[in-house]
Amino acid sequence: MWRTNLKVIGVVLGTLALYTLIANKIPQIQSEVPQSLSFGANVTSEQLVAAGDKLFNGAGGCTACHGLGTRAPNLVTDEKGAGPIGARCGKREPGKSCKQYLFESLDNPTAYVVAGYQPIMPRMTAQLSPPQIWSIIAFLESQGGTVDVSGADIPATSTTSPTSPTGGGSLAGGSTDPKAIIGAAGCLGCHMLDGQGAKIAPDLTRVGARRSPDSIRKKILDPMSSIAKGYEKLAGVMPKSFGTMLTGAQLEALVQYLAAHR
């Protein structure tokens, strides 16, 4: 009897050890989540600037490009003798105030591209809520300029972020249509796919021929997990928040769609 019991215990312990080993080999990936913001009509410029500071230097991912002086213009420090962004934003485009120019840069980044730089910036209004966008604008205005962003600039009904710490999947309205997801995420702002998009990041038209579904999934969740050869200078540009912007069903639909592109 005792021999049988020992065998049973051995099998149980061996099984537990095997599953523990497998679990430890699965990459633990966590996407950065920009903090949701909610402002009242009486929000102060100081509150906006403080919130924008946290986003710009944190989960907003702005410093992946801005501040290096190579991928994108410096914003919080001098840029070629023109001062920080707050001192020059009102002079970028004729007829546009600083606030208008900064919003355009976040909503339609290819409308005006600073000379000497490539149009690699994603459409941030697809990733951040209006309160987050306007807090970043306030922070940037404070860098050498005058902050004129107020509660009146923020739509009263827009108090949450498109991203959710629980993976709410409000991106593309929760649709599992891969084309809708790609459009809402702004992928074609950098990638080519089926003849559409920009030739900045790797072409995705035949991505399934060079990456497995697991590799595609990991790249979406953790963009720094692997960098395509020849695109090292763009490392860090791809947002790290897709893991929280997509539901599991959306993620799998997107992975399978891209994997089928051979």
Q: Quick one: three-class SS letters along the chain?
A: CHHHHHHHHHHHHHHHHHHHHHHHHCCCCCCCCCCCCCCCCCCCHHHHHHHHHHHHCCCCCHHHCCCCCCCCCCCCCCCCCCCCHHHHHHHCCCCCCHHHHHHHHHHCCCCCCCCCCCCCCCCHHHCCCHHHHHHHHHHHHCCCCCCCCCHHHCCCCCCCCCCCCCCCCCHHHHCCCHHHHHHHHCHHHCCEECCEECCCCCCCCCHHHHCCHHHHHHHHHCHHHCCCCCCHHHCCCCCCCHHHHCCHHHHHHHHHHHHCCC
88-98 average pLDDT score: 93
User: Is a pLDDT exceeding 60 seen at residue 72?
Assistant: yes
User: Is a pLDDT exceeding 50 seen at residue 205?
Assistant: yes
55-64 average pLDDT score: 82
User: Is a pLDDT exceeding 90 seen at residue 100?
Assistant: yes
Q: 112-125 b/e with 16+ CB inside 10 Å = b?
A: eeeeeeeebbbbbb
pLDDT of amino acid 13: 55
Q: What is the pTM of this model?
A: 0.65
Lowest mean pLDDT among 167-181, 183-197, 214-228: 167-181
> Sign of the CA dihedral 66, 71, 72, 75?
positive
pLDDT of amino acid 95: 92
Q: How far apart are CA 24 and CA 2, in angstroms?
A: 33
pLDDT of amino acid 212: 96
180-207 average pLDDT score: 88
pLDDT of amino acid 3: 60
User: Is a pLDDT exceeding 50 seen at residue 29?
Assistant: no
For the ranges 113-127, 139-153, 173-187, the maximum mean pLDDT occurs at 139-153
210-231 average pLDDT score: 93
Q: What is the mean pLDDT of the chain?
A: 81
142-158 average pLDDT score: 86
200-218 average pLDDT score: 95
Lowest mean pLDDT among 33-37, 100-104, 200-204: 33-37
91 vs 68, more confident = 91
224-245 average pLDDT score: 84
User: Is a pLDDT exceeding 80 seen at residue 178?
Assistant: yes
User: Is a pLDDT exceeding 60 seen at residue 90?
Assistant: yes
Which pair of structure tokens corresponds to residue 195? Answer: 């003849």
Lowest mean pLDDT among 118-127, 165-174, 239-248: 165-174
Q: Provide CB contacts within 8 A for 11, sequence distance 6+.
A: none
Neighbours of 26 (CB within 10 A): 7
pLDDT of amino acid 162: 45
Find tokens 């990733």 and name the residue. 127
